[in-house]
Every structure is written in C-alpha cells, then in structure tokens.
Amino acid sequence: MTATTTKDAAQDVAIEVLKSKVEDLEENQTILFERIRINEKWIAGAGAVIATGLAILALVTAVDAETRTKTYQIECKSTGMCLQREGS
C-alpha cells in the first residue's frame, strides 16, 4: 500500500507540474495573439495609406493627362500676327 501511495503522490506532482506548464503556455499564447492583433492593425493602416497615396497619384496623373491632350488651333491673320485659341 505504501508503494501505491508513493506512486499516486508522484503522479499527482507530475500532474500539477504539467498543469502549471499548460497555464504558462496559455498565457504566452494570449500574449502572442495580442501582438498579432497589433501587427494586423499596423498592416491595415499601412495598406490604407498606400491605397490613398495611389488614388491621389492616379487623380493627379489623370488631371495632368487631360491638360496635355487639349488641342489648340493657331489662327494667323494677314498681318502676320498669329493667335492661339483652344479648339474643341
């Protein structure tokens, strides 16, 4: 009976050690999940900034392209003076 009691006590100690280790691992897992959430927020913010920058760049490029494609007609009078006006 003493051998059984000793064995039970040893198993109880081993169980408690394992429970302690599991609790530590769960705590570390919680910390890692929090760090992942913070990184996800930063990445989403950076993506939003990049998307906004690209949208602004596209608008600027579109406006610049529009101003460059306007046609101009040059009218020269008999006096030799030429006038430039915007065509349609």
- Full domain range(s) for residue 59: 2-86
Single out the residue of 59, 50, 56, 88 nearest to residue 71, CA to CA.
88
Query: At residue 1, does pLDDT exceed 60?
Result: no
Q: Whole-angstrom Cα distance, residue 11 to residue 5?
A: 10
**Domain total of the chain:** 1
Look at the pTM and tell me if it is higher than 0.95: no
44-67 residue pLDDT tens:
999 999 999 999 999 988 887 666
